Amino acid sequence: MSKIKKTLLSLAAVSVSVCVLAGVMFYATDIAKGDLPATDPQSYTTIEANGLSFAVDIRGDKTGTPVILLHGFPESAVMWDSFMDELTANGYYAIAPNQRGYSAGSRPDDVEQYQLKYLTSDVIAIADQLELEAFHLIGHDWGAAVGWQVAAENPDRVISYAAISVPHIDAFGKAYREDTTQYEASAYIRFFQKPILPEFMMAKSDYERLRSIWTQHDAAEIEHYVGILGQEKALTSAINWYRANFPVFTNGLDVGKVNVPVTFIWGNKDHALKRSGVDDTRNYVEADYQFIEMDAGHWIIQEKYQELTGHLLTHLAKYK
């Protein structure tokens, strides 16, 4: 075979490989981006804040003491559905937003727009739009991370704070950097820094991998979440919380100490959040602090609903 023919065959092989790779990337990107129309629950109220539109579940009499509830990943305000009814039955005014990336009108393309400073600003902006001078705050998972910063920066607005699962951000960041057990448990955070691949892995085969995360949730709740995260750009927006805030884990954020009453509830079977950051959280609260350890995993509200909500209602009543 002539040298020219060998060269042509080699170029052809490279061209085929490039085409195959391009085809695979196109397929992965198409799966990852989501294909459901951008919609919000019809019963939710739309609130304009920070130039975005947020779908917010609002229940109860506005004359009651406000309680803002922040969901985590990969859930939505619906995680608080039953508890919101309990809150209103006890005279509270319950507000649970679908946060940035989870509301159809709040999915900016820029990854930096999901930094904690913007996520916390959304909470205050929503409170301002609802004319809430002061409010109780409850957060789970990423919602708890946001809540820690909201409480630290706004002691004049936050009556009390209840964090579920996630330690104070500074305590968790320190644990991530210094505790091998926590670093290893956080491998998924590093995986989420890759482009496209995390979305593809979670979305392929009708969101099989994503569905497997919700180990304590009923079928209706799971379908609700898939209905949100299956919308175009929604899954990427949700994962962008991890991408935008990766320096929080690797370098630290220095949120500072919280000077409002805090109840921190943690499940000792949580595979993602280890004890080092949990124990250190006490050092970041200057006001009244209560730590409650539950025999539960990460999805505490689904796994131990009565026990968890009992703790939350007791906490709220104490600082009402």
- Residue pLDDT, tens place only, 151-190: 999 999 999 999 999 999 999 999 999 999 999 999 999 9
Which DSSP string do the residues of 201-251 spell out, in sequence order?
HHHHHHHHHHHHH-TT--HHHHHHHHHHHTBTTHHHHHHHHHHHTHHHHHT
β-bridge partners, 74: none
- Residue pLDDT, tens place only, 226-252: 999 999 999 999 999 999 999 999 999
Q: Is the pLDDT of residue 2 over 90?
A: no
Q: Is the pLDDT of residue 28 over 80?
A: no
Q: pLDDT at position 320, please?
A: 81
Classify 209 in phi/psi space as left (phi over 0), alpha (psi -120 to 50) or beta.
alpha
- Residue pLDDT, tens place only, 54-88: 999 999 999 999 999 999 999 999 999 999 999 99
Predicted confidence band of residue 194 (pLDDT cuts 50, 70, 90): very high
CB-based contact 51:43 (threshold 8 Å): no
In the numeric block, which tokens belong to residue 94? Answer: 């319950």
Distance CA 56, CA 221 (A): 17
Q: pLDDT at position 311, please?
A: 98
Q: Which residues lie below 8 Å from residue 48, measured CB to CB, with a gap of 6+?
A: 54, 129
Name the more confident of 22 and 114. Answer: 114
Mean pLDDT over each residue of the chain, to the nearest integer: 92
**Of 145, 59, 51, 42, which Cα lies nearest the Cα of 96?**
59
In the numeric block, which tokens belong to residue 274? Answer: 């280890």
Q: How many helices (H) and strands (E) does the chain have?
A: 14, 8
Angle at 201 between CA 56 and CA 181, to 5 degrees: 85
Predicted confidence band of residue 30 (pLDDT cuts 50, 70, 90): low
| 45 burial type by CB count under 10 A (0-12 exposed, 13-18 middle, 19+ buried) | middle
Q: Was domain 45-318 assigned CATH 3.40.630.30?
A: no
Q: pLDDT at position 10, please?
A: 54
Q: pLDDT at position 9, please?
A: 46
DSSP state of 219: H
Q: What are phi and psi of 214, to 5 degrees?
A: -85, 80
Q: Is the pLDDT of residue 46 over 70?
A: yes
Predicted confidence band of residue 27 (pLDDT cuts 50, 70, 90): very low
